[in-house]
Protein backbone atom coordinates (compact mmCIF):
# COMPACT_ATOMS: atom_id res chain seq x y z
CA UNK A 1 0.00 0.00 0.00
CA UNK A 2 2.79 2.40 0.95
CA UNK A 3 4.64 1.78 -2.27
CA UNK A 4 1.45 2.20 -4.25
CA UNK A 5 0.84 5.60 -2.65
CA UNK A 6 4.46 6.63 -3.16
CA UNK A 7 4.31 5.82 -6.87
CA UNK A 8 1.03 7.66 -7.24
CA UNK A 9 2.49 10.77 -5.60
CA UNK A 10 5.46 10.68 -7.97
CA UNK A 11 3.25 10.62 -11.08
CA UNK A 12 1.58 13.83 -9.95
CA UNK A 13 4.73 15.92 -10.16
CA UNK A 14 4.95 15.89 -13.97
CA UNK A 15 1.21 16.52 -14.17
CA UNK A 16 1.55 19.60 -11.99
CA UNK A 17 4.44 20.82 -14.11
CA UNK A 18 2.60 20.39 -17.41
CA UNK A 19 -0.43 21.99 -15.82
CA UNK A 20 1.52 25.09 -14.82
CA UNK A 21 2.86 25.42 -18.38
CA UNK A 22 -0.62 25.11 -19.89
CA UNK A 23 -2.04 27.63 -17.43
CA UNK A 24 0.73 30.14 -17.98
CA UNK A 25 0.41 29.82 -21.73
CA UNK A 26 -3.32 30.52 -21.54
CA UNK A 27 -3.16 33.50 -19.20
CA UNK A 28 -0.49 35.27 -21.24
CA UNK A 29 -2.55 34.85 -24.45
CA UNK A 30 -4.30 38.23 -24.37
CA UNK A 31 -2.15 40.76 -26.24
CA UNK A 32 -0.44 43.46 -24.21
CA UNK A 33 0.24 43.35 -20.49
CA UNK A 34 -1.32 44.97 -17.49
CA UNK A 35 1.68 47.04 -16.52
CA UNK A 36 2.09 48.82 -19.84
CA UNK A 37 -1.58 49.75 -20.14
CA UNK A 38 -1.68 50.70 -16.46
CA UNK A 39 1.30 53.04 -16.78
CA UNK A 40 -0.16 54.53 -19.98
CA UNK A 41 -3.45 55.12 -18.17
CA UNK A 42 -1.75 56.85 -15.25
CA UNK A 43 0.28 59.05 -17.55
CA UNK A 44 -2.80 60.01 -19.54
CA UNK A 45 -4.43 61.15 -16.29
CA UNK A 46 -1.37 63.27 -15.60
CA UNK A 47 -0.32 61.29 -12.54
CA UNK A 48 3.24 60.71 -11.49
CA UNK A 49 4.45 57.19 -12.13
CA UNK A 50 7.16 55.67 -9.99
CA UNK A 51 9.24 54.59 -12.98
CA UNK A 52 11.86 52.80 -10.91
CA UNK A 53 9.27 50.59 -9.21
CA UNK A 54 7.65 49.72 -12.55
CA UNK A 55 11.05 48.94 -13.99
CA UNK A 56 11.93 46.69 -11.08
CA UNK A 57 8.65 44.81 -11.45
CA UNK A 58 9.26 44.44 -15.17
CA UNK A 59 12.76 43.22 -14.52
CA UNK A 60 11.70 40.82 -11.79
CA UNK A 61 9.04 39.01 -13.82
CA UNK A 62 10.63 39.47 -17.23
CA UNK A 63 7.53 41.16 -18.61
CA UNK A 64 9.24 42.32 -21.82
CA UNK A 65 10.62 38.88 -22.61
CA UNK A 66 9.04 35.89 -24.44
CA UNK A 67 6.43 33.94 -22.53
CA UNK A 68 8.52 30.88 -21.72
CA UNK A 69 11.18 33.04 -20.04
CA UNK A 70 8.42 34.72 -18.06
CA UNK A 71 7.16 31.25 -17.20
CA UNK A 72 10.57 30.14 -15.89
CA UNK A 73 10.91 33.29 -13.81
CA UNK A 74 7.44 32.72 -12.38
CA UNK A 75 8.11 29.05 -11.66
CA UNK A 76 11.50 29.84 -10.15
CA UNK A 77 9.88 32.37 -7.83
CA UNK A 78 7.26 29.85 -6.71
CA UNK A 79 9.73 27.05 -6.09
CA UNK A 80 12.46 29.04 -4.36
CA UNK A 81 10.67 31.90 -2.58
CA UNK A 82 7.01 30.78 -2.58
CA UNK A 83 6.43 33.97 -4.58
CA UNK A 84 3.47 33.56 -6.91
CA UNK A 85 4.01 36.88 -8.60
CA UNK A 86 2.59 40.34 -8.17
CA UNK A 87 -1.04 41.32 -8.45
CA UNK A 88 -1.05 44.57 -10.38
CA UNK A 89 -4.69 45.19 -9.60
CA UNK A 90 -4.35 44.85 -5.82
CA UNK A 91 -0.83 46.28 -5.88
CA UNK A 92 0.58 43.61 -3.62
CA UNK A 93 1.98 40.08 -3.98
CA UNK A 94 -0.49 37.46 -5.22
CA UNK A 95 -0.35 35.08 -2.29
CA UNK A 96 -1.89 37.38 0.38
CA UNK A 97 -4.67 38.29 -2.06
CA UNK A 98 -5.55 34.64 -2.48
CA UNK A 99 -4.93 33.69 1.15
CA UNK A 100 -7.75 36.04 2.17
CA UNK A 101 -10.33 33.93 0.38
CA UNK A 102 -8.71 30.51 0.05
CA UNK A 103 -9.64 29.01 3.47
CA UNK A 104 -13.29 29.89 2.95
CA UNK A 105 -13.19 28.50 -0.61
CA UNK A 106 -11.82 25.21 0.67
CA UNK A 107 -14.37 25.09 3.50
CA UNK A 108 -17.25 25.75 1.11
CA UNK A 109 -15.91 23.14 -1.32
CA UNK A 110 -15.48 20.49 1.37
CA UNK A 111 -18.90 21.22 2.83
CA UNK A 112 -20.42 20.98 -0.65
CA UNK A 113 -18.64 17.70 -1.24
CA UNK A 114 -19.99 16.35 2.05
CA UNK A 115 -23.47 17.48 1.03
CA UNK A 116 -22.96 15.84 -2.34
CA UNK A 117 -22.13 12.43 -0.91
CA UNK A 118 -24.38 12.52 2.15
CA UNK A 119 -27.40 13.32 -0.01
CA UNK A 120 -26.48 11.66 -3.31
CA UNK A 121 -25.41 8.21 -2.11
CA UNK A 122 -28.32 7.37 0.25
CA UNK A 123 -30.91 8.59 -2.25
CA UNK A 124 -29.17 6.67 -5.03
CA UNK A 125 -29.32 3.49 -2.95
CA UNK A 126 -32.95 4.11 -2.05
CA UNK A 127 -33.84 4.68 -5.71
CA UNK A 128 -32.11 1.48 -6.81
CA UNK A 129 -33.59 -0.70 -4.07
CA UNK A 130 -37.08 0.69 -4.65
CA UNK A 131 -36.83 0.84 -8.44
CA UNK A 132 -39.96 2.18 -10.20
CA UNK A 133 -41.60 3.19 -6.91
CA UNK A 134 -43.12 6.65 -6.58
CA UNK A 135 -40.10 7.80 -4.59
CA UNK A 136 -37.75 6.57 -7.31
CA UNK A 137 -39.69 8.44 -10.00
CA UNK A 138 -39.66 11.63 -7.92
CA UNK A 139 -35.93 11.44 -7.27
CA UNK A 140 -35.19 10.59 -10.90
CA UNK A 141 -37.17 13.61 -12.00
CA UNK A 142 -35.50 15.90 -9.46
CA UNK A 143 -32.13 14.42 -10.43
CA UNK A 144 -32.58 15.19 -14.10
CA UNK A 145 -33.91 18.66 -13.37
CA UNK A 146 -31.01 19.40 -11.04
CA UNK A 147 -28.54 18.42 -13.72
CA UNK A 148 -30.33 20.52 -16.33
CA UNK A 149 -30.51 23.81 -14.42
CA UNK A 150 -27.19 25.65 -14.66
CA UNK A 151 -25.74 26.59 -11.26
CA UNK A 152 -25.96 30.30 -11.72
CA UNK A 153 -29.61 30.20 -12.72
CA UNK A 154 -30.33 28.11 -9.68
CA UNK A 155 -28.55 30.77 -7.64
CA UNK A 156 -30.71 33.47 -9.20
CA UNK A 157 -33.89 31.52 -8.55
CA UNK A 158 -32.97 30.92 -4.91
CA UNK A 159 -32.04 34.58 -4.44
CA UNK A 160 -35.37 35.54 -5.97
CA UNK A 161 -37.09 33.06 -3.66
CA UNK A 162 -35.42 34.40 -0.51
CA UNK A 163 -36.25 37.93 -1.62
CA UNK A 164 -39.91 37.05 -2.02
CA UNK A 165 -40.12 35.19 1.30
CA UNK A 166 -37.93 37.28 3.56
CA UNK A 167 -37.82 40.63 1.81
CA UNK A 168 -34.02 40.76 1.58
CA UNK A 169 -31.96 39.30 -1.22
CA UNK A 170 -29.23 36.82 -0.38
CA UNK A 171 -25.93 38.56 -1.07
CA UNK A 172 -22.55 37.64 0.32
CA UNK A 173 -21.32 34.79 2.45
CA UNK A 174 -21.28 36.53 5.83
CA UNK A 175 -23.85 38.25 8.02
CA UNK A 176 -23.03 41.83 8.85
CA UNK A 177 -21.71 41.18 12.37
CA UNK A 178 -19.42 38.42 11.10
CA UNK A 179 -18.16 40.80 8.43
CA UNK A 180 -17.42 43.49 11.02
CA UNK A 181 -15.66 40.93 13.20
CA UNK A 182 -13.53 39.75 10.30
CA UNK A 183 -12.58 43.26 9.35
CA UNK A 184 -11.66 44.26 12.89
CA UNK A 185 -9.67 41.09 13.35
CA UNK A 186 -11.67 39.90 16.37
CA UNK A 187 -12.78 36.90 14.34
CA UNK A 188 -10.64 34.53 12.29
CA UNK A 189 -12.02 32.26 9.60
CA UNK A 190 -11.67 29.19 11.82
CA UNK A 191 -13.84 30.83 14.50
CA UNK A 192 -16.69 30.81 12.02
CA UNK A 193 -16.81 27.02 11.89
CA UNK A 194 -18.39 26.95 15.35
CA UNK A 195 -21.00 29.60 14.66
CA UNK A 196 -24.56 28.56 13.90
CA UNK A 197 -25.43 31.73 12.02
CA UNK A 198 -22.52 31.16 9.64
CA UNK A 199 -23.71 27.67 8.72
CA UNK A 200 -27.26 28.92 8.32
CA UNK A 201 -25.92 31.44 5.86
CA UNK A 202 -23.84 28.77 4.10
CA UNK A 203 -26.84 26.58 3.35
CA UNK A 204 -27.85 28.42 0.19
CA UNK A 205 -24.40 28.48 -1.47
CA UNK A 206 -23.89 24.81 -0.62
CA UNK A 207 -27.23 23.85 -2.15
CA UNK A 208 -26.63 26.02 -5.20
CA UNK A 209 -23.13 24.75 -5.85
CA UNK A 210 -23.79 21.15 -4.87
CA UNK A 211 -27.11 20.36 -6.51
CA UNK A 212 -25.97 19.46 -10.00
CA UNK A 213 -23.09 17.32 -8.70
CA UNK A 214 -25.38 15.67 -6.18
CA UNK A 215 -27.82 14.80 -8.93
CA UNK A 216 -24.94 13.30 -10.94
CA UNK A 217 -23.83 11.22 -7.95
CA UNK A 218 -27.41 10.14 -7.38
CA UNK A 219 -27.82 9.01 -10.99
CA UNK A 220 -24.56 7.10 -11.16
CA UNK A 221 -25.09 5.54 -7.73
CA UNK A 222 -28.53 4.34 -8.77
CA UNK A 223 -27.26 2.87 -12.05
CA UNK A 224 -24.33 1.12 -10.34
CA UNK A 225 -26.50 -0.28 -7.57
CA UNK A 226 -29.01 -1.61 -10.10
CA UNK A 227 -26.15 -3.25 -11.99
CA UNK A 228 -24.82 -4.89 -8.86
CA UNK A 229 -28.24 -6.00 -7.63
CA UNK A 230 -28.71 -7.94 -10.86
CA UNK A 231 -25.48 -9.90 -10.48
CA UNK A 232 -25.38 -13.60 -9.79
CA UNK A 233 -23.58 -13.26 -6.46
CA UNK A 234 -26.62 -11.44 -5.11
CA UNK A 235 -28.81 -14.34 -6.21
CA UNK A 236 -26.40 -16.71 -4.53
CA UNK A 237 -26.33 -14.69 -1.33
CA UNK A 238 -30.12 -14.57 -1.29
CA UNK A 239 -30.33 -18.31 -1.83
CA UNK A 240 -28.02 -18.82 1.11
CA UNK A 241 -30.39 -16.76 3.22
CA UNK A 242 -28.21 -13.72 3.78
CA UNK A 243 -30.34 -10.84 5.03
CA UNK A 244 -31.33 -8.21 2.48
CA UNK A 245 -29.69 -5.48 4.58
CA UNK A 246 -26.41 -7.31 4.56
CA UNK A 247 -26.60 -7.95 0.81
CA UNK A 248 -27.20 -4.28 0.09
CA UNK A 249 -24.79 -2.63 2.51
CA UNK A 250 -22.05 -5.22 2.81
CA UNK A 251 -21.96 -6.71 -0.69
CA UNK A 252 -23.43 -4.41 -3.30
CA UNK A 253 -22.61 -1.02 -1.84
CA UNK A 254 -18.92 -1.77 -1.63
CA UNK A 255 -18.78 -2.65 -5.31
CA UNK A 256 -21.15 0.10 -6.38
CA UNK A 257 -19.17 2.80 -4.60
CA UNK A 258 -16.20 2.23 -6.89
CA UNK A 259 -17.10 4.66 -9.72
CA UNK A 260 -18.40 7.21 -7.23
CA UNK A 261 -15.08 7.22 -5.41
CA UNK A 262 -13.03 7.36 -8.59
CA UNK A 263 -15.20 10.29 -9.66
CA UNK A 264 -14.13 12.30 -6.62
CA UNK A 265 -11.81 14.60 -8.53
CA UNK A 266 -14.55 15.10 -11.11
CA UNK A 267 -16.91 16.14 -8.34
CA UNK A 268 -14.29 18.54 -7.02
CA UNK A 269 -13.78 20.18 -10.40
CA UNK A 270 -17.57 20.33 -10.74
CA UNK A 271 -17.69 22.15 -7.42
CA UNK A 272 -15.05 24.63 -8.56
CA UNK A 273 -17.02 25.25 -11.75
CA UNK A 274 -20.16 25.84 -9.76
CA UNK A 275 -18.57 27.90 -7.02
CA UNK A 276 -16.82 30.17 -9.52
CA UNK A 277 -19.95 31.28 -11.29
CA UNK A 278 -22.30 31.14 -8.29
CA UNK A 279 -19.87 33.20 -6.24
CA UNK A 280 -19.82 35.83 -8.96
CA UNK A 281 -23.62 35.93 -9.09
CA UNK A 282 -24.19 35.86 -5.32
CA UNK A 283 -21.18 38.02 -4.52
CA UNK A 284 -19.57 35.46 -2.21
CA UNK A 285 -16.09 36.11 -0.85
CA UNK A 286 -14.48 33.12 -2.59
CA UNK A 287 -11.73 32.86 -5.20
CA UNK A 288 -14.22 32.78 -8.11
CA UNK A 289 -14.96 36.51 -8.29
CA UNK A 290 -11.25 37.34 -7.91
CA UNK A 291 -10.45 35.06 -10.82
CA UNK A 292 -13.14 36.71 -12.90
CA UNK A 293 -11.89 40.22 -12.14
CA UNK A 294 -8.29 39.21 -12.66
CA UNK A 295 -9.12 37.77 -16.08
CA UNK A 296 -11.02 40.89 -17.07
CA UNK A 297 -8.23 43.18 -15.88
CA UNK A 298 -5.42 41.03 -17.36
CA UNK A 299 -3.97 40.62 -13.88
CA UNK A 300 -2.20 37.52 -15.15
CA UNK A 301 -0.26 36.31 -12.10
CA UNK A 302 -3.35 36.44 -9.91
CA UNK A 303 -5.47 34.61 -12.51
CA UNK A 304 -2.74 32.06 -13.15
CA UNK A 305 -2.17 31.35 -9.48
CA UNK A 306 -5.88 30.88 -8.82
CA UNK A 307 -6.11 28.41 -11.71
CA UNK A 308 -2.99 26.65 -10.45
CA UNK A 309 -4.39 26.35 -6.92
CA UNK A 310 -7.66 24.93 -8.24
CA UNK A 311 -5.77 22.45 -10.42
CA UNK A 312 -3.53 21.49 -7.50
CA UNK A 313 -6.52 20.84 -5.26
CA UNK A 314 -8.15 18.68 -7.93
CA UNK A 315 -4.94 16.71 -8.41
CA UNK A 316 -4.85 16.26 -4.64
CA UNK A 317 -8.43 15.00 -4.85
CA UNK A 318 -7.42 12.51 -7.52
CA UNK A 319 -4.63 11.26 -5.28
CA UNK A 320 -7.06 10.91 -2.40
CA UNK A 321 -9.57 9.03 -4.51
CA UNK A 322 -6.84 6.68 -5.79
CA UNK A 323 -5.84 5.84 -2.22
CA UNK A 324 -9.47 5.40 -1.18
CA UNK A 325 -10.06 3.19 -4.18
CA UNK A 326 -7.06 1.04 -3.35
CA UNK A 327 -8.40 0.65 0.17
CA UNK A 328 -11.88 -0.14 -1.11
CA UNK A 329 -10.94 -2.51 -3.89
CA UNK A 330 -8.13 -4.97 -3.19
CA UNK A 331 -7.73 -5.76 -6.90
CA UNK A 332 -6.23 -2.31 -7.48
CA UNK A 333 -3.72 -2.71 -4.64
CA UNK A 334 -2.52 -6.04 -5.95
CA UNK A 335 -2.28 -5.02 -9.57
CA UNK A 336 -0.28 -2.04 -8.32
CA UNK A 337 2.24 -4.36 -6.67
CA UNK A 338 2.73 -6.25 -9.90
CA UNK A 339 3.89 -3.03 -11.42
CA UNK A 340 1.08 -1.92 -13.65
CA UNK A 341 -1.26 1.03 -13.28
Partner 1 sequence: MTRADRKTLRAIKKAEKAKKKEEKYYLASQWQLMARKLGRHKLARVSMVILGFLYLVALFGDFLAPYSLTAYDADAKDMPPTPIHFMYGDEFIGPYVFPSKWETLKMSVAEMSRAKKEAAERGETFSTRQIVTDETSPQKLQWLVHGSPYRILGIFESDIHLFGVEKGKIFLFGSDNLGRDLFSRIILGGQVSLTIPFAGTLLSFVLGLLIGSISGYFGGWVDNVIQRIIEVLNSLPSLPLWMALSAAIPAGIPPVRMYLLITVILSLIGWTGLARVVRGKFMSLKNEDYILAARLAGVSDMKIILKHMVPGFMSYLIVNLTLGIPSMIIGETSMSFLGLGIQAPATSWGVLLKEAQNVTNIVSHPWCLIPLFFVVLTVLAFNFLGDGMRDAADPYK
What gap in Å lies between CA 264 and CA 260, rounded to an integer? 7
What gap in Å lies between CA 102 and CA 53, rounded to an integer? 28
Instruction: Using the minimum distance from each CB to partner 1, give the nearer residue, 206 or 271.
Output: 271
- Residue 63 C-beta: closest distance to partner 1, Å: 17
Instruction: Using the minimum distance from each CB to partner 1, give the nearer residue, 18 or 180.
Output: 18
Instruction: Using the minimum distance from each CB to partner 1, give the nearer residue, 104 or 277.
Output: 277
Host H or E run for residue 93: strand 92-93
Query: 93 - beta bridge partners?
Result: 86
Instruction: Using the minimum distance from each CB to partner 1, give the nearer residue, 12 or 126.
Output: 12
- Residue 155 C-beta: closest distance to partner 1, Å: 10
Instruction: Using the minimum distance from each CB to partner 1, give the nearer residue, 156 or 207.
Output: 156
Instruction: Using the minimum distance from each CB to partner 1, give the nearer residue, 160 or 249.
Output: 160
Contact between 220 and 124 under an 8 Å Cβ cutoff? The reply is yes
Contact between 337 and 8 under an 8 Å Cβ cutoff? The reply is no
Instruction: Using the minimum distance from each CB to partner 1, give the nearer residue, 311 or 336.
Output: 311
Task: Mark out the alpha helices in the chain (DSSP H runs).
Answer: 2-27, 34-44, 51-61, 67-81, 94-99, 102-129, 134-148, 151-166, 176-184, 189-192, 196-229, 232-239, 244-246, 253-262, 264-282, 287-297, 300-328, 330-337
- Residue 66 C-beta: closest distance to partner 1, Å: 17
What gap in Å lies between CA 316 and CA 133, rounded to an integer? 39
- Residue 98 C-beta: closest distance to partner 1, Å: 14
Q: Note the residues at the interface with partner 1 (CB under 8 A).
A: 14-15, 18-19, 22-23, 26-27, 29-31, 144-145, 147-153, 156-157, 159-160, 163-164, 169, 265-266, 269-270, 272-273, 276-277, 280-281, 288, 291-292, 295-296, 298, 303, 306-307, 310-311, 314-315, 318
Pick from 41, 143, 152, 113: nearest CA to 313: 113
Pick from 139, 329, 144: nearest CA to 253: 329
Length of the chain: 341
- Residue 118 C-beta: closest distance to partner 1, Å: 22
Contact between 147 and 215 under an 8 Å Cβ cutoff? The reply is yes
- Residue 102 C-beta: closest distance to partner 1, Å: 15
- Residue 21 C-beta: closest distance to partner 1, Å: 9
Contact between 84 and 95 under an 8 Å Cβ cutoff? The reply is yes
- Residue 30 C-beta: closest distance to partner 1, Å: 5
Instruction: Using the minimum distance from each CB to partner 1, give the nearer residue, 202 or 280.
Output: 280
What gap in Å lies between CA 4 and CA 339, rounded to an integer? 9
Amino acid sequence: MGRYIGRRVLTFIPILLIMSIVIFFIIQLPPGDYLTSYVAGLKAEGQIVDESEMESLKERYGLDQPWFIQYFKWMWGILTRFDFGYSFDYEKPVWPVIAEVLPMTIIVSLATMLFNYLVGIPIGIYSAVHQYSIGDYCFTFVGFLGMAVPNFLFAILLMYGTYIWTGTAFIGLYTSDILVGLQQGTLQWYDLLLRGDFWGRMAIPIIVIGTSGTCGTLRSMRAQMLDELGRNYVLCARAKGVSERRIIYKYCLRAALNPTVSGLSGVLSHIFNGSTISAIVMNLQLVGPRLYNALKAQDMYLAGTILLVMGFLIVLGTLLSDILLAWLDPRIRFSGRRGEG
